[in-house]
Chains A and B, each alone.
Chain A
Amino acid sequence: MFKRSHLPALISLILLVLLGTLPIYGSTYAVILLTAIIMYIVLTVSWAMFSGPTGYISLAPAAFFGVGIYTMAILGGQLPVLAVVIIGGFISFLLALLVGITTLRLRGVYFAIFTFGLVVLIKELLLFWEITVTGTRGRFVVLESNTTIYYVMFGIFVVLMLVAYFIRRSRYGLALQSIGENEEAAAHAGINVTMVKVITFATSAIFMGATGAIMATRWTYVDPYVAFNPIFSFLPVLMALFGGMRRLYGPVIGAAIFAYAEELLLTRFPYYYMLTFGLILVLVILYLPNGLVGLAPKIWKWSSGAQGADTRR
């Protein structure tokens, strides 16, 4: 009746129900903490959706996240929250489409630098605009209740996981994988390489923009430095690398662990938190190329070879 292959689905379902009903039984602190954790999970999973299989390192998440934040800062209070979140995602989508079409022919690190330059360029131009034209530096954002923010964030998370799951399982995911392995061969096999890359890149940006829009309502005040903070480009990369990108749940685990650690450490030891962040990044790249997810089979293999200790043979 019950097969072992049903286990992951069952666990996911229980987790979803537990998370979905959290505001009913959980404390306010738990709701706020999980909002932050889910935010990082969404940023990380959507980053890994494009960069994981293709190997193109995008440092643009902060740009899409910031676009979402500013959408909320400008439209919040005038339209329903959910509408602004969707608009935030859509504007990010359009921006990503534009960036993707112009830059996805750049190979390797050039793409990474370009996407990073985009974050800083938007920040500098926005700052210039706000100071010279609007006459202010920051903006106030209309507040929402913690429960609303949580539910919207949770909704984004569920949609993202479904999209990421189906992309992985479809021939579309296979196409992405083959681009990562050998782009020229993929093109020769009949894959419209540019379109697959651009569409996936833009799709991943929707979730980053939507996340930025809803998170803005928690921060009450935003300025270009807060909204386009490059750290939101680096954290998803580190979290995804740390968790491992071979499996869908790798980035989820990586993001959850890091987000919780940040909550515990960042306010108390800001410099040492960032220092540890850098150390872990270097160590993961050196010793854990497949992340935590890649570690499990290694340990399994190592421990299952233990009968070799039997000296009688």
Chain B
Amino acid sequence: MTVTILNIVIGGLLMGGIYALIAMGLSLQYGVARVLNIAHGEFIMLGAFITWALYSAFGINPLLSLVIGGPLMFVFGFLLHRTLFTRLRVSSPSPSAYEGNSMLAAFGLLFIVQNIALAIWGGDMRGYAYLHFGINFLGVAFAANRLLALGLAVTTGAVFYLFLARTRLGKAIRAAAQDSTTAALMGVNINLVLALCFGLGALMAGLAGLLISMCYPIYATMGFEYTVIALIVVVLGGLGSIPGSFIGGFVLGLIGSIVSSWQPALAMAAYYVLFMLLLLLRPTGIMGK
């Protein structure tokens, strides 16, 4: 009994680490930059495929490929915001019109990125073995790569929290999250800060993709499921609250683990039910005001 519970809890935490990471990325893009980036999952897929391609073609260690893939994803996200979304933000008549338009543009982006990936890599599942052995913990065995993924996710979350709380740029990001117009009036270069947030969001998606590719099979259409999970966590944690997203990720990981242990086919449905209930009953989330 205790072993089963331990299994479920630790399994949930391991999944939760990745959820927390992708949710923090989306929280930066949606909570701060106000772009409901439906293509978030495609960035995760890109990160996963970059890691896989580097590993299988050149034998580059997945952790090292972060040095190559990370900046690439950041620049991609940054430039996307500077060109596409900044233009939309200026041309939209109202903030809510901008939210609608940018969401639809992100849908377009989803189709573009996903189909480029399909054209290059095809629709097959891919994977590779890295740190693929078990580690015993209180009588339960866990794959080493998943423990590493959890460790990296938590470290990233902690570093990013310190960055937000302790640096000048972090303060600017927090100000922009609260009220971008006022932040701009106070001398924050708002276009730059929002583009930075979008780029950082893409970077976190890329890192999450890297971790996912170490533990699970990857495929070109895998992104959307993660987008949905990220969205649920962002709403769960409270819009614009980065610590909320981090904690929410672990909460959802645990819920998923509990439902899966009972009926694996219903895990996704349970996420949606939770999400719809949240939207209806408490749209401000667990950490929201």
Contacts and interface: CB of A to CB of B under 8 A. Distances in A.
Given A128-B265, A286-B87, A278 B100 contact: no
B115 interface: yes
B112 interface: yes
Binding site secondary structure of chain B: helix
Interface in A142-175: none
Contacts of B231: 113
Given A106-B283, A117-B275, A128-B269, A282 B103 contact: no
B158 interface: no
B283 A114 contact: no
A9 to B, nearest CB: 34
A114 B107 contact: no
B118 interface: yes
Contacts of A117: 228, 272, 275-276
A261 interface: no
Interface string A274-305: 11011111100110010000000000000000
A174 to B, nearest CB: 21
B268 A124 contact: yes
A127 B265 CA distance: 9
Interface residues on chain B, size class: 35 or more
A44 to B, nearest CB: 15
Nearest to A275: B115
Contacts of B269: 121, 124-125, 128
Contacts of A55: 97, 100
Instruction: Determine the interface band of chain A, counting residues with CB < 8 A from chain B.
Output: 35 or more
Contact of A103 (B84, B87, B88, B280): B280
Nearest to B87: A286
B45 interface: no
Contacts of B36: 109, 113
B116 interface: yes
A128 B115 contact: no
A151 to B, nearest CB: 34
Nearest to B280: A102
A271 B118 contact: yes
Nearest to A112: B103
Interface in A129-150: 131-132
A179 interface: no
A110 interface: yes
B276 A114 contact: yes
Interface in B106-126: 107-112, 114-116, 118-119
Contact of A281 (B91, B104, B228): B104
B279 A110 contact: yes
A279 B108 CA distance: 6
B112 A275 contact: yes
A109 B100 contact: yes
Interface in B221-276: 228, 231, 265-266, 268-269, 272-273, 275-276
A282 B109 contact: yes
A107 interface: yes
A274 B115 contact: yes
Nearest to B119: A271
B4 interface: no
The residue among B101, B118, B272, B283 with the most chain A CB atoms within 10 A of its own CB is B272
B265 A131 contact: yes
A181 to B, nearest CB: 11
5 contacts: A108-B100, A109-B103, A114-B276, A275-B112, A289-B91
Interface of A: 55, 57, 102-103, 106-110, 112-114, 117-118, 120-121, 124-125, 127-128, 131-132, 234, 237, 241, 271-272, 274-275, 277-282, 285-286, 289
Given A124-B268, A281-B108, 19 more contacts: A55-B97, A57-B103, A103-B279, A106-B283, A107-B96, A109-B99, A112-B100, A114-B276, A120-B228, A121-B273, A121-B276, A131-B265, A271-B118, A274-B114, A274-B115, A275-B111, A275-B115, A275-B116, A285-B108
